Amino acid sequence: MRDSYTILADGSAILKPALDERSYRFLKLNNNLHVLVIHDASTDRAGASLDVNVGSFADKNYGVPGLAHFCEHLLFMGTAKYPAENTYSSYLAKHSGHSNAYTAAEHTNYYFEVSADHLEGALDRFAQFFICPLFSTSCKDREICAVDSENKKNLQNDLWRMYQLDKLTSNPAHPYNSFSTGNLATLNDEPASRGVNVRDVLLRFYCEQYSANLMSLVVLGRQSLDVLTEWVLLKFSDVPDHGLARPFYDGCPLYAPEQMCKLTCARPIMVSNKLEVSFPIPSDMEQQWRSKPAQYYSHLLGHESKGSLLYFLKNLNWVNELSAGNMKVCQGTSLFMVELELTPDGLANWQAVLAHLFEYLHMVKLQPPQLWLWREISDMSKIDFCFRQKTGTASTVSKMSNALHKFAQNLYIPPENLLDYTILRDFDPAEITAYGAHLVPSNLRITITSQLLDDLPEREKWYGTEYSFDDIPGDLMSRLHKVSQNPALHLPVPNTFIPKDFTVHGQKAVEPLRHPHLICDTCKFETWYKQDDTFCVPKGYINITIHAPPLGASVEAAAMGTLLCELFDDALADLKYYASIVGLSSSIFQYRDAFSLKFGGYNDKLPALLELVLRNLVAFAPTEDRLEPIKYKVTKALVNAAYENPYTQIGNHFLQFVNEKTHTDAQKLAALERISFDDLSRFAKSLWEQGVFVQTLIHGNFEYAAAALVHTLIKDICKPLPAISEMAAEVYQKVNFQSHVLETAEHARYEMVLTDPVNVNSCIEYFIQIGRICAENARLRVLTNLLCVILLEPCFNQLRTKEQLGYVVFSGYRLNRSHFGMRILVQSERPCEYLEFRIEKFLERFRTKKLGAEFTEDAFAKFKQALKLKKLTKLNNLHEECSSYWTHINDGYYDFEQKQRDVAILDTITKKEFLLFVSEHLAFGAGHQSARISVYLKSQKQPLFDRNKNFSAVVHNYMYENDHDKDVVSDVLDEIIERSKFDTVAVADELCKKLSIADAAAFKEKFTAQIEARTQSPTPPEYSKGQLYTLDSEFKSSHALGGRPEPVTELKSLYYPKEEARL
């Protein structure tokens, strides 16, 4: 077997982070498939990813935009070895797994994650996609609809719109000039009009483009490298190798000469005034992997300290945000991008903003590349690599398979550097200077986006973006060529936050502590501490919540709290940026009645950063000069939230509906308009007068003495501030908020209309309230978790894959502040009433059929094991552990060991008990117990479905609801419908024969009546269901609160064990 592959790098030859306990082997199979196998003895999650070095750029060769993306969708729908279309997803669901894929310009990436004991079975199913996929005819139309739905999801997304606009104005000879997503027109209507069968084109695309020599595979498991290698050989050696050439575009510029020095103006969907400056670079920069000259310029242009471009422009109130960096477009080409978020004044002065950008570049180029600056960047790249922690399995394999081509198919980067190629190794002033030579006016393209722009005569084909495309004005070009030195612009000073001490104070424990200890428990301070005993990294996290009752008093208070956070963040931008570029993060945001502060990174300098930020916060007084730009920034974010995809909005609407003391974005906007500087100043001065309650978590590489010093520091800074109350019970009453609760069997419906008038998608969240969050309901919660695990794959398979309701379909466990339950969410062009109808039909069929005779004890045991593995999944890094602890502290339940207790409960749950639970909570009609909330977010656009599409959907639904879907599978039913020319009687005749119906007349009568009625009106008249609410206040005024959170265990049991050390 050893002669079946070649090892390219192995064992100690591969340079790893100091903390990395994994083992790696990089090899090439005899079919030229490049493979990285990763042994991780401690993992409980295994996975694999295969990246094909072909993507949407290949579409042009076939005349079908979106073909590569369509291939990615249809590839999952069955193989010769595993023909059922949901075999792969069902296997993963039963073993606590999941999968996904994406199509990029030059890559298509497929990946999955599964419990470690079931890697081989998943790997075998995965491999078949690249050996003998079926590309089933029956799935073709449904997956075209899925691609079309995915495209419609992006139609109102400015990132997609502006990306497509840039491609439109690029070189027609370059494959970048294309539409890559695809839709119903490009994948169905247009090919059909030319007499082209798109499935035939797809088969040719797959055979001509998918070749083992263009594939990179990464497999991660806890098996040895030899076992993983053996599995790869057995399962992937049959992937065909066609000896294809890697995509190559040298000599074909991204933009033709006549497309340079151009100004694009466009109107976005979102409220935004953006100036984007791009400089084409005729290299993908992979040859410069050791010196990375682009990083020198992105570091300086993206800096936020005094003397930087952003600092200067913010002082003019012209710019709020700036980002800069190099972006690889494809082989042979990259772009250096500078993106500035302008204020309205900045938009009016955009030419001056651009001139200042070139003033800064002029300043940088006047002096030779600075070794000390480069060394700071290089040192941090080495430190970050050395102490890099694990990420999740799916993320790891997907990113590595995509990167593997760098080492597999060019000679620039040696295979042993496949992990540490991100390090900045060589100071090369000549390469830095040469890169800077591209950042000049003659190599410039500008894009301005704003809703304030007019005179935009053109309209982009795929997204409908209004735009103009003209030469940059000649006088502006002359100004840019003649910029001089601006004394306000200069290089940053040396960074004092660079960490020096990387001593790890703890050590790995055989049985790590599952919770932090409470080291201070008073009416004013609640401080938690845990020394890292799992990851042994020189990093730490300090999270602080400062409760101040005025912040939760009203919508005006909430708006002023948000403004204060943004103004404070803005005032400390210089300080915080120096910290951020050396791995120290800090953030502040308003949270209910509190300011939430989070600090993280290398613990050496973390307390110093905390002290600077916290002292400034307690003494902070806003100044009027930055109020309007910050108010504009906050207003813009609130307005734009209403133009996000409906499925990203609906969760917030649900929580606003049920939670107390919440406010809609519209209410916050109205409050912002009323707030003056005097109002804000008075609020800031009185903010602490009602007292504070400070919750803190100190977690990571801190010995107890260091944690005690941090607590003392916080205590001293907050000493001038009074406590909320001298009675602990009263404090907890004030800081723990609740949710409003439904009565047993109640059904409430909350309806809203989308703000965006042209978004075609509606969305529903269907929530079943099951129980209150409390220790007594732990068993009920575990039963709910188990239901969600079992429901996940059938829900997606029925509502998304089979019924094609929309691209976005998911289900799962759902929490509010007081109660838990389960939800199903669907985004679709169909109306919400129809979506609720289909959800309830699915739940009814799931309860009566899916959990019927075919639901065996063995199947039940597998789902229990899947949930157990999910709950016992190890955390990947210190940040994940900290986030978990902080969630349990903030929610007021302090249930740090919930997962372990849940597993113990799970082991005792029987199938009989589970089915009884399901019958009580999923049943419809008289006797069911669960309350339900249907949240509708309704499109303003009327859905357009022709009679044939409705007819086909209704027939499929009829067969599903009447348990005929197994007798007449989907593709056969589609053939019957088409052969019968969508005639009800003709379809009924064929079905009678196919199903061997004894009483054909009765069947035909029932079938034709229901099909005709549903085709005309797909939604039954009893939908919508439930009591209608259009305002959350109506619901809250008529429903009781569900109870404040209470600790699941007595807090004294979590006290630090050394009594004398408590603070």
Q: Which residues are catalytic?
A: 72
Cβ–Cβ under 8 Å, residues 830 and 843: no
Q: What are the residue ranges of helices labelled H in 736-856? A: 778-795, 832-845
CA angle 134, 138, 141 (to 5 degrees): 110
Cβ–Cβ under 8 Å, residues 767 and 933: yes
Measured distance CA(471)–CA(480) in Å, rounded: 14
- Contacts (Cβ under 8 Å, ≥6 apart) of 789: 93, 96, 863, 866, 867, 870
Cβ–Cβ under 8 Å, residues 653 and 767: no
Cβ–Cβ under 8 Å, residues 53 and 216: yes
Residue with tokens 């602490």: 688
Helices (H) and strands (E) in the chain, counts: 38, 26
CB-based burial, 605-624: b 16+ in 10 Å, e otherwise? bbbebbeebbeebeeeebee
Measured distance CA(18)–CA(423) in Å, rounded: 14
Q: What is the DSSP letter of 740?
A: B
Measured distance CA(94)–CA(114) in Å, rounded: 9
Helix, strand or coil, per DSSP, at residue 309: helix
Per DSSP, the residues of 937-984 read EE-SSPP---HHHHHHHHHHHHHHHTT-TTTS-HHHHHHHHHHTTT-H
Q: Which of 272, 1038, 153 is nearest to 645 (CA)?
A: 153
Per DSSP, the residues of 337-374 read EEEEEE-HHHHHTHHHHHHHHHHHHHHHHHSPPPHHHH
Q: In DSSP terms, which residues pair with 530 in a beta bridge?
A: 699
Beta-carbon count within 10 A of 1046 CB: 13
Structure tokens at 132: 């003998």
478 cis-preceded (ω within 30 degrees of 0): no
Cβ–Cβ under 8 Å, residues 244 and 209: yes
Gyration radius (Cα) of the chain, Å? 30
Strand order across the 585-591 sheet: 517-521, 525-531, 693-700, 539-547, 594-602, 585-591
Q: Are strands 445-449 and 262-266 parallel, antiparallel or unpaired?
A: parallel
Cβ–Cβ under 8 Å, residues 94 and 863: yes
- Contacts (Cβ under 8 Å, ≥6 apart) of 743: 931
Q: Is the dihedral of CA 878, 881, 887, 889 positive or negative?
A: negative
Helix, strand or coil, per DSSP, at residue 327: strand
Q: Which of 190, 191, 209 is nearest to 200 (CA)?
A: 191
Phi-psi region of 829 (alpha: psi -120 to 50; beta: other; left: phi over 0): alpha
Structure tokens at 396: 């790891």
Q: Which of 90, 73, 79 is nearest to 798 (CA)?
A: 90
Structure tokens at 998: 């004894």
Measured distance CA(596)–CA(545) in Å, rounded: 4
The amino acid that residue 661 corresponds to is: K
